[in-house]
Structure 1
Amino acid sequence: MRRRVLLLVAAITTLLLLAFLVPLAVLVRTVAEDRAVATATAEAQSLVPLVATTDRESLRLAVEQVSGVAVFLPDGTVLGSADRTPLVELGSRGVSASAEVPGGREIVTAVRDRSGAGGAVRAFVPDAELTRGVARSWLILAALGVALLAVGLLLGDRLARAFVRGATDLAGVSERLARGELQARADPAAPGELGSVARALNGLAARISELLHEERESVADVAHRVRTPLTALRLEAESLGDPAEAARIGAAVDEVARAVTGAIAQARQRGGDTGNADAAAVVAERVAFWAVLAEDTDRPVTVDLAPGPLPVAIGRTDLAALVDALLGNVFAHTPDGTAFAVRLRATGAGAELEVADAGPGPPDAKVLGRGVSGAGSTGLGLDIARRSAERSGGGLRLESAGGLRVVVELGRG
């Protein structure tokens, strides 16, 4: 856009300069010619009275004082250095005239001597005199044109910068909003229509913030309601006769309560702060939690975790929810006794988490869609994992290799 504005300014300025400077250059040349011709004519006419009033010797001395002028007397005598030309013959007949001749301009003035016989005074103006000072004037006009073009381009560049800066700011704010920075706002003082677009974008960002706030509060309210049945379940667990069983169920209830608390806190976050977490520590913690249930359901577990710390660009709560979603799918969609493996390794871009099972695999290739499930569940597990991975700068993919293998790439923290 900036280049186009500059090209437009250059084209318009050039046309205006040509329309102004070309006639002015022609005028300068015309004025120089007229000045030289007028000077030569005045010198020639200064000799006209002398032809009829002075003697020949005085006239000769006067002619020698004037450069480029010759006097042709009626008797054929020539005073000065010049050839008799057709224009001189015309002047001898009483006709004054001027004409372009090779090398310059010839000016002939008809005269009469004392006896009334016709003669002529010839003045010759060479081309050098006709164009004296023209080249210098043209150079000055060219320099003036270049200076004016430079000033026009400078002003056009300033104008283009203002437009480009406004458009660039709008693009930057849009990208920040797309990344979840809902506090980003455009400058409404941008010139022209860009200001209108900036105000509309700011209104849209404010509305999005309001809607997200309402959604988070609704999710938080729903999560808060879960605490009541969890409290009742904890009381039921404490009333069990077997202390070990009561402790195990109580620990599971406490874990669910912590997850609910984390969901409430996460739902009330303003967004945009992904945070960092040690993937090695979080994955090890969640695998240890699910290992108890795996033992109860006779599921062999293979764990291969890279040594930490392994920082990734995702918050600890989000990463724990991601791991829980993947492992929860294994228990929900494979029969008891199905083996699974959890592997975590460092990569150049961050970390790669793999959860593979020996089950029947995904029933539908669309299981990554939100709300899509092949086993009657809510269908949110893999979608939660995918969105969390994408927020960290990574992604999620499914592979079938004698079961289901879920590979999650996490960006470096």
Structure 2
Amino acid sequence: MRWRLALLVAAAMSLVLLAFLVPLALLLRGVAADRAVSAATTQAQSLGVLVATADPQSLRLAVEQVNVDARRPVTVYLPDGTVVGPAVGRTPAVSLAARTTTLSVEHADGREVLVVVQGLPEGTAVIRVFVPLAELRKGVARAWLVLALLGVGLLAVGVAVADRLAVMVVRPIRTLATVSDALAGGDLDRRAPAAVGPPEVRAVAAALNQLAARIRDLLRHERERVADLSHRMRTPMTALRLDAEGLRDQAEAARILAHVAALDSAVTTVIEDTRRERDLPSCDATAVVAERIRFWTVLAEDQQRPVETDLPAGPLPVAVSAADLAACVDALLGNVFAHTEEGVAVAVTLDPRRVLTVQDAGPGFDPAAGARGVSGAGSTGLGLDIARRTAEAAGGTLTVDRAPLGGARVTVTLSALTEP
């Protein structure tokens, strides 16, 4: 925008300067030509007195003295045909002037000034002064150069002033863009300076600050509501734990208590996550996926469901929290266990490119599945949406297609952790 404003001002000033300087340059050229013609006319008129009164010898000496300055050669045509001065043939202009009056004729190489001396006994004499083109344009080139330098100087000053004005406008806008990017990145404490720039920019800055404050308040309230909702789940979990402890089958009681403990841990994590603002979520994808596979393997063994895994040998950091990635894996595996028959194989792959793939050998996937709240099996339809939002929050993507095993294949692409 800064350069566009400068170019706009430069174009406008160029047009104004051309409209002003070009006519002025032409006027200067005309003034120089008129000055040279006036000097030649005066010179010819001064010789007119000698032509009318002096004898031929005196006239010849006077003309020779005048022609010492060869810039404007002078020739006198007497009525008897005598030519005094440079031997220049009688031009048509001379013949015309002898019959009419004083005049000037323009030629390609200069201008011919003709002064008529009448009242001589023999007839009319004509004094011819030729003004060359260099004399007609004497000083014009220098004047044009001065005008050109003046125009360039004015244009440079105008562009410099326009650039300073553009900076005054663009710099606050860039500041607003920086603050907006920071807000989009999650830094809700950033604020734009509301006292810098033109009034319109200050108004936008004030509105952006109000919007940021409003978003922060809404987000804080939303976190508190989610935390309160999660906390309310503690009461039914406590009742469930008491019921499990009252079971006579100790093995069954231990299994249910383990599930209740896992649920309680998940609820605690939700409460902590909603109340804690994290700047750089990250985790080791290999460890998280492996831990969730171990969790689901117990159920897979009960259902005689083969589980194939292919995980990297070492840590694989990704830009997503462990809780979110675990929820993503649980949602994908939960879909497989919930919507396929027992004994259907499932495969989980995590390659070093941070691509997580969950596929099964079931009947396949409803093409409409994947949209939030849409399910082809009577569920809430939020499982894939959780996985998709996790991938997008990590700067990745989620795709659904047909798996080589025959069922559905869900591919989640994550992004690497980058340092600020």
> TM-score, normalised to structure 1's length?
0.82
- Bigger CA drift: 259-268 or 375-384? 375-384
What letter corresponds to residue 350 of structure 2 in structure 1?
A: R
Aligned to 1:46: 46
1:25-36 counterparts in 2 under 5 A?
A: 25-36=25-36
- Bigger CA drift: 299-308 or 49-58? 49-58
Instruction: Choose which of 64, 76, 84 in structure 2 pairs with 1:79.
Output: 84
Distance 2:307 2:102 in 1: 123
Aligned to 2:224: 217
1:290-316 deviation per Cα after TM superposition (whole angstroms, max 9, x unaligned): 333444455443333322211111111
Cα deviation for residue 147 of structure 1 reads: 4.8
What letter corresponds to residue 85 of structure 2 in structure 1?
A: G
Cα deviation for residue 220 of structure 1 reads: 0.9
1:153-198 deviation per Cα after TM superposition (whole angstroms, max 9, x unaligned): 5555666666666666666665655555545555654557555445
Distance 2:362 2:100 in 1: 126
Distance 1:377 1:63, change over 3 A: same
Answering whether residue 147 of structure 2 is matched by residue 141 of structure 1, we say yes
1:10-409 counterparts in 2 under 5 A?
A: 10-51=10-51, 54-67=54-67, 68-73=73-78, 76-81=81-86, 82-85=88-91, 88=94, 95-101=101-107, 103-111=109-117, 119-149=125-155, 151-152=157-158, 177-178=183-184, 180-183=186-189, 189-191=196-198, 193=200, 196-270=203-277, 273-335=279-341, 337-348=342-353, 351-362=354-365, 364-400=366-402, 401-409=405-413
What letter corresponds to residue 42 of structure 2 in structure 1?
A: A
Q: Secondary structure at the match of 2:412?
A: strand
Contact 1:340 1:355 in 2 (8 A): no
What letter corresponds to residue 370 of structure 2 in structure 1?
A: L
What letter corresponds to residue 132 of structure 1 in structure 2?
A: K
Cα deviation for residue 118 of structure 1 reads: 5.2
Distance 2:92 2:310 in 1: 116
Sequence identity percentage: 57
Q: Secondary structure at the match of 1:405?
A: strand
Contact 1:301 1:339 in 2 (8 A): no
Cα deviation for residue 64 of structure 1 reads: 1.6
What letter corresponds to residue 26 of structure 1 in structure 2?
A: L
Aligned to 2:70: none
What letter corresponds to residue 311 of structure 2 in structure 1?
A: L
Cα deviation for residue 259 of structure 1 reads: 0.6
What letter corresponds to residue 36 of structure 1 in structure 2?
A: A
Contact 2:192 2:209 in 1 (8 A): yes
Distance 1:71 1:303 in 2: 118
Q: Secondary structure at the match of 1:412?
A: coil
What letter corresponds to residue 221 of structure 1 in structure 2?
A: D
Cα deviation for residue 61 of structure 1 reads: 2.6
Gaps of at least 5 residues in structure 1 are none
Distance 1:50 1:297 in 2: 137
Distance 2:372 2:27 in 1: 80
> TM-score, normalised to structure 2's length?
0.80
Distance 1:171 1:98 in 2: 70
Distance 1:77 1:397, change over 3 A: closer
Distance 1:338 1:190, change over 3 A: farther
What letter corresponds to residue 338 of structure 1 in structure 2?
A: G
What letter corresponds to residue 412 of structure 2 in structure 1?
A: V
